[in-house]
Amino acid sequence: MKEVYKPLFEPFTFRNGVQLKNRIVMAPMTTFSANPDDTASDAEIDYYAARSNGPGMVITACAYVQENGKGFEGQFAADRDTMIQSLRRVASSIKEKGAKAIIQLYHGGRLAVPHLIPDGETVSASSVAPLLDRGFYSIDQTPCSLSDEEVIQLIKDFGEATRRAIEAGFDGVELHGASGYIIQQFFSPHSNTRTDRWGGNIEKPLAFPLAVIEEVKRVMAEHAKQPFILGYRLSPEEPETPGITMAETFILLDALADAEPDYIHMALNDFWSKPRRGVESNRSRVELIQEHVGNRVPIIGVGSIHTPDQAIEALEKTRIPFVALGRELIMEPQWVEKVEQGKEKEIKTTINPSNQALLTIPDPLWELILDVPGWFPIEKETIQK
C-alpha cells in the first residue's frame, strides 16, 4: 500500500483489551432484506460476508428490542430468544471473514412504522408527534407516552437483547441513540416533555440513555465470557425547534464519557459538517467532539467518505481513531482490501445498475438504491429498466 495510507491500517486496542486490526469501520445501514418472520435472510448473510474481510469492525443494521419498535420493512429482530439462531448467522458471517461483529440495538419509538407494529400504536418519551419526515417513511401520528413501568421494561429489553447478542456470538453491541429514535427521543427537548424522573431539566433527560447503558453493562458483566464492546451512536444536532443543539450534545458527551462506553459513533451525512446551533465555531462537529471528549473515549466519524485520501484526511486532521464507511462499502465491498493492496485506483464510487450480483446486494436494498433519487450516485447512462 502507499505509505500515506498506513495509518488506516494501524491496529487499535480498546480499554477492555479487544483489538481491531485497522481503523476502518463499516457503518450500520438498513438493508430492508430480512425474512417475513424477521430473521436474517440468506441474502443478508451473503451481503455481510462480502464486506467483512477488510474492515476492523462491522456494525450491522439496527435490530429492534421490542416488537412495537420496528421501524423498517425487512428488519431483523433481537426481541426474543427464538431470534438467537438468526443473530448467530449474522455474527458468524462477519467474524469468519476477520472483522469484529457489532449489532446495533434500537427501538423506533415515535418513528416506528404503524403498519409494522402491534395495533399500530407508536410510543415515545412523551405524546409529541414528529414534525419532520426522517428516512424512508412519513410518520405523523402522535405516540403514546410510556408509563414509568413501561420505561423500565424497555430498559430491561435493551439488556435482554444484549444477552441474545452475547449468546449469538457478537463481539459487541452499539446502542442507537441517533437519527431520532427512542433513546434520542428521551434526550431531546422536542420529544421529551415529561416532568417525572425521565424528563425535565437537562440532567433528567440523560436518565434514560444512562440507564440503558447501565443495564447493558450489567448484562455484559453477567453473561459475557470475554471482553465485549459497547458503543453508543448519537446525532449531534436535531433540525427541530426546540431540539438538540451542540450545547446539549456537549452535556450528553460528558455524561457518556463518564459512563465509559468503548466508543462513541457520530451519525452524520457529511463528515465535515459544521454546527448550526449551540456553539459559535467554524470547525466541524467531529473536530469539536474530538476536542471535547476524544481524550476520554474513542470517536468514530462518518459521512460521505469515499476515497482513501478522504479517509486519511479525516483521521489526520481531526485526530479521531476511526472512520466509518457506509454507502461506499455498498458500492465497493473490497474497498479496504484494494487500499491495502495498492489498488486504490480501482475503487468504485458509483453504482453500475448491471452489477447487483457482483456487489452482493439483496433485492429490496437494490431496488431502493435505484429508485430513491440522490441516495446513491448511479451510472445513469447504463441504466436499463
Contact 216, 228 (CB under 8 A): no
Residue 236 inside a domain? The answer is yes
Name residue, grid cell 417513511: 137
Q: How many domains does the chain have?
A: 1
User: Cα separation of 321 and 62, whole Å?
Assistant: 23
- Contact in structure between 213 and 158 (CB atoms under 8 Å): no
Are residues 177 and 187 in contact, defined by beta-carbon separation less than 8 angstroms? yes
Question: Is the residue at 380 inside a domain?
Answer: no
Query: What does the pLDDT look like over 44-80, one tens digit per residue?
Result: 999 999 999 999 999 999 999 999 999 999 999 999 9
The band of 385, judged by pLDDT with boundaries at 50, 70 and 90, is very low
Share of the chain above pLDDT 90, in %: 95
Lowest-confidence range among 220-224, 238-242, 380-384?
380-384
Confidence of residue 134 (pLDDT cuts 50, 70, 90): low
Catalytic residue status for 181: yes
CATH code of the domain covering residue 202: 3.20.20.70
Please say if the pLDDT value at position 35 is more than 90.
Answer: yes
Contacts of 339 (CB under 8 A, 6+ apart): 1, 5, 8, 308, 347
Q: State pLDDT tens for residues 175-225.
A: 999 999 999 999 999 999 999 999 988 789 999 999 999 999 999 999 999
With vertex at residue 163, the alpha carbon angle to CA 161 and CA 165, rounded to the nearest 5 degrees, is 70
Other CB atoms within 10 A of residue 92 CB: 17
Cα dist. 24→21, 95, 177, 243 in Å? 9, 15, 21, 31
Q: How many residues are given for the chain?
A: 385
Structural domain that includes position 256: 3-349
Q: What's the CA angle centered on 39, arms 211 and 81, to 5 degrees?
A: 50
Residue 355 lies in a domain: no
Q: What are phi and psi of 252, to 5 degrees?
A: -60, -45
Residue 218 lies in a domain: yes
For 218, the grid coordinates are 450489567
Mean pLDDT for 352-364 is 97
pLDDT of residue 82: 98
Q: Is residue 374 part of a domain?
A: no
First to last CA, the chain: 39
Confidence of residue 131 (pLDDT cuts 50, 70, 90): confident
pTM of the model: 0.97
CA gyration radius for the chain? 20
Q: Is the pLDDT of residue 147 over 90?
A: yes
CA dihedral angle for residue 171, residue 176, residue 177, residue 182, rounded to 10 degrees: -140
Please state, in angstroms and rounded to a whole number, the distance separating the CA atoms of residues 351 and 382.
10
What cell numbers appear for 69 in the block? 419498535
In-domain check, residue 322: yes
DSSP characters over 26-53: EPP-------TTSSPPHHHHHHHHHHSS
| Residue from 48, 181, 232, 263 carrying the catalytic annotation | 181
* Strand-strand pairing, 100-106 and 172-177: parallel
206-to-60, 69, 248, 346 alpha-carbon distances in Å = 26, 20, 10, 46
User: Do residues 145 and 207 lie in contact, with contact meaning Cβ atoms separated by under 8 Å?
Assistant: no
Domain assignment present for 144: yes
Q: Whole-angstrom Cα distance, residue 76 to residue 87?
A: 8
* Residue 107 belongs to a domain: yes
